[in-house]
Amino acid sequence: MMTIKKIAAYAMMTASAGLFGTQLVLAQSPVNYPVKPIRLVVPFTPGGSTDILARAIGLELTKAWGQPVVIENVPGAGGSIGADKVAKAPADGYTLLMGHIGTLAVNPSLYPNLPYDPVKNFAPVAWVARVPNVLVVHPSVKATTVQELVALAKSKPGQLNYGSGGNGSAANLATEYFKMQTGTSLLHIPYRGTAPAVTDLVGGQIQVLFTGAPAVMGQIKSGQVRALAVSSPKRMDALPDLPTVADAGYKNFEADQWYGVVAPAGTPKDIVAKLNSQINQSLNSAELKTRLNNEGAVATPNTPEVFGSLIQSEIARWKPVIQSGRVKAD
């Protein structure tokens, strides 16, 4: 038989449990989300296009919600290490990935034992930006146009080298596609991230780089590197005098990068919707549009469904290029 003390204690314990449960539900409710800092994983070293875009979005979310968005750089294996970390994180909206063409579309064909499936293990949140790759060379390279670079490379097959953020990176893929289209031979020098590749291009250790515009805009404007062409079908607003590769005679050439935020699969749809709405609102602001444009990026606000469709179509698009044997994993 329960005494009055036991009944009272039980009542208090039940009430406390109910209160804790209510607090837990409120903490996880999309109405109150976020109630603590959000971790946005960048699967590459600081300073590259992915990192630059992640910090821009993180800053906007921090300003909008008053909760810090902490950028965590987790490089390695073409972005696979960082992506896998997020895929295995709790699906509560507090761990996100700034994914891009490499981690979400290239790696499935590049790595036979990839520890994550970009379609099954992630919930698309927001398509952030499309970023043209810019073909740049060290000023010592005797080429001021795509045609001159192609002629130089053909006269010295395998003697010119190019850098990338690593085997299987977007820069690696874009340059191999360029080689395929132009019939040239360039020696690949892979780095652990875009930033060190840019540093070595400026220093003259490598001669060619075909990478995302945000990573090299400053160096182009300062004259530390020479830009020859852009990978997109149209010229960039930020570099209006820079021709496209298609302008140089290689019709239908396109090898842009794209970036977007994904969350672990199973993240509540209401939280995904809240993230998508706020990121799109930020991308539609004149301030961020101008900022991205100055970095060479084009904002692409859209629905999670459209972003998910992009991921699946790009997996199919790049699979033949990778299977041709031109792109190797580390």
Boundaries of every domain in the chain: 38-131+257-326, 133-248
Q: Based on the number of CB atoms within 10 Å of its own CB, is 223 exposed (0-12), middle (13-18) or buried (19 or more)?
A: exposed
Q: Does domain 38-131+257-326 have CATH number 3.40.190.150?
A: yes
Return all residues near 179 (Cβ < 8 A) that are at least 6 apart: 185, 186, 326
pLDDT value at residue 25: 45
Closest CA to 73 of 170, 194, 181: 194
Q: Helix or strand or coil: residue 72?
A: strand
pLDDT of residue 304: 98
> Could you tell me which residues are beta bridge partners of residue 212?
133
Note if the bond before 34 is cis, omega within 30 degrees: yes
Radius of gyration over every alpha carbon of the chain, rounded to an integer in angstroms: 23
- pLDDT, one tens digit per residue, over 213-263 is 988 999 999 999 999 999 998 999 889 999 999 999 999 898 998 999 999
CA distance 318 to 176: 12
* The CATH number fitting domain 133-248, selected from 3.60.15.10, 3.40.50.12280, 3.40.190.10, 3.40.1160.10: 3.40.190.10
Residue with tokens 């990192």: 51
Asked whether this chain's domains 38-131+257-326 and 133-248 adopt the same fold, the reply is yes
In one-letter notation, the amino acid at residue 308 is G
Longest dimension (CA), the chain: 97
Element (H, E) at 117: none
pTM: 0.75
pLDDT of residue 27: 46
For the chain, list residues with pLDDT below 70. Answer: 1-30, 325, 330
pLDDT at 26: 46
